[in-house]
Structure 1
């Protein structure tokens, strides 16, 4: 591959090639009846410029003319589009993963007023990343936005390790309704476990009934596999009440993400 064919996406380096690329795309979308004025309006050049480019594309064999206002992109033109589109895709991937990805910006909650460019210490509290002015914490960053106390602030240039413990996940498996459902659970035990948890999630109607029997309204009822995993990775202790038929789906997801859990027997 030559330098011009590299991930630099040479179609972007040449205004002429970039315009030809856009015109070919517009013709492919509209063919065979193509209005030069519509193409001009779509890409922001004059109708005369479109006409000049069309003559050139016809000479190169990229476009075939079938009559007044009737054009078609040839196989050679399609091949040219495909090759340049592939390079553009590679370039976009390079920019998004290797360029933009290196300038990571996270969002934190400001504990007090913060100015753009100010050094901050990061901490995890109640499952939320927090930023505090100063560099006394184990993990630091630099604010990229101003923020009032209690509002969101963008931070980057991370250093150190965020010092916090992963949350515990406790799972209570409940039988289906035809095997007793919530009535087969030790509701006092459920209430005791829920009192010690930061977050209560239920998966299944039997689990919802058990939570309400324990006089607790769940924090989560849907998407619990992902939510419980994320809560634990953010330092929250989660209690999951789950119908036995859904248990494997939740435990598999936790194991895949290396989140430890404990299954507690809450049967009467």
Structure 2
């Protein structure tokens, strides 16, 4: 495989700007070959058309690109081999960053209950489904702030120690038949309103369920993506009333069982 005076075959495109540009140009040629517009390549990678022309001449000399006439180029086997070698190294680097760098820095977002400085120890708690960070390390679960924040602002925290203790929320599910079997009319609005008063959130799954909530003078907190939303809310300690059409129940109960969240089924026909 051809090499230039800088040892291109052994270089890393993240360390060498010239090789990084060659890499991008080769990729652009491979995508467009054989008809290659130097201006399109220049626009794609953010350099001038003249610079692309200069690089192309160099790539042809190195044997990475063949020229078949004006504006017609093709990446050679040597060029493909070089691209593969650099891509493999990039993939190895990305894997390293993902698993050994980012994976070691587990940062969560909390709501500051008081003024917090970066590097300060904080105590963690779960309140109304939101992770909260209180200055000081007197709680059972602690962390270290990685950003500064005023009271009421979001703050990044890491280096967790201890156990964050809180109870999972409960889910009550009012099941409704489809519209052709009665829909929202199958449940008494006052029953829905009474259940809602004892829960932190109301979620509806299906138009019939939304109509039942409206009849009870309720504005649902969640109407879309309810299987995941209800599960997430319950695992954060919130009690949820879910009004759902029967054909949507399985998707919700499966999610809840996955997180060991308890739930009670209420048949609308019984009320």
TM-score over 0.5 for the alignment? yes
Q: Deviations over 1:217-258 (max 9, x none)?
A: 211111111110110111101110000111112112222343
1:40 to 1:175, Cα distance in 2 relative to 1, 3 A = closer
Please give the secondary structure, in 1, of the residue aligned with 2:147: coil
Counting matched residue pairs gives 259
Task: Tell me the CA shift for residue 83 of structure 1.
Answer: 3.7
Matched with 1:249 is 251
Q: For 2:121 and 2:39, how far apart are their aligned partners in 1?
A: 55
Q: Deviations over 1:140-192 (max 9, x none)?
A: 11112221111111111111111111111111111112212222224333222
The correspondence for 1:35, drawn from 33, 38, 43, is 38
Task: Tell me the CA shift for residue 11 of structure 1.
Answer: 3.7
Matched with 2:98 is 96
Task: Tell me the CA shift for residue 39 of structure 1.
Answer: 4.3
Q: Deviations over 1:43-64 (max 9, x none)?
A: 658957963x545533443211
Contact 2:25-2:41 at 8 Å conserved across structures: no
1:63 to 1:237, Cα distance in 2 relative to 1, 3 A = same
Matched with 1:63 is 65
1:107 to 1:192, Cα distance in 2 relative to 1, 3 A = same
Please give the secondary structure, in 1, of the residue aligned with 2:242: strand
Please give the secondary structure, in 1, of the residue aligned with 2:173: strand
Contact 2:25-2:52 at 8 Å conserved across structures: no
- TM superposition score normalised by structure 2: 0.83
- Structure 1: give runs of 5+ residues left out of the alignment: 1-8
Please give the secondary structure, in 2, of the residue aligned with 1:12: coil
Matched with 1:197 is 199
Q: For 1:48 and 1:25, how far apart are their aligned partners in 2?
A: 16
1:217 to 1:35, Cα distance in 2 relative to 1, 3 A = closer
Q: Which segment drifts farther, 67-76 or 224-233? A: 67-76
- Structure 2: give runs of 5+ residues left out of the alignment: 1-10
Q: For 1:239 and 1:13, how far apart are their aligned partners in 2?
A: 55
- TM superposition score normalised by structure 1: 0.84
Q: CA RMSD in A?
A: 2.8
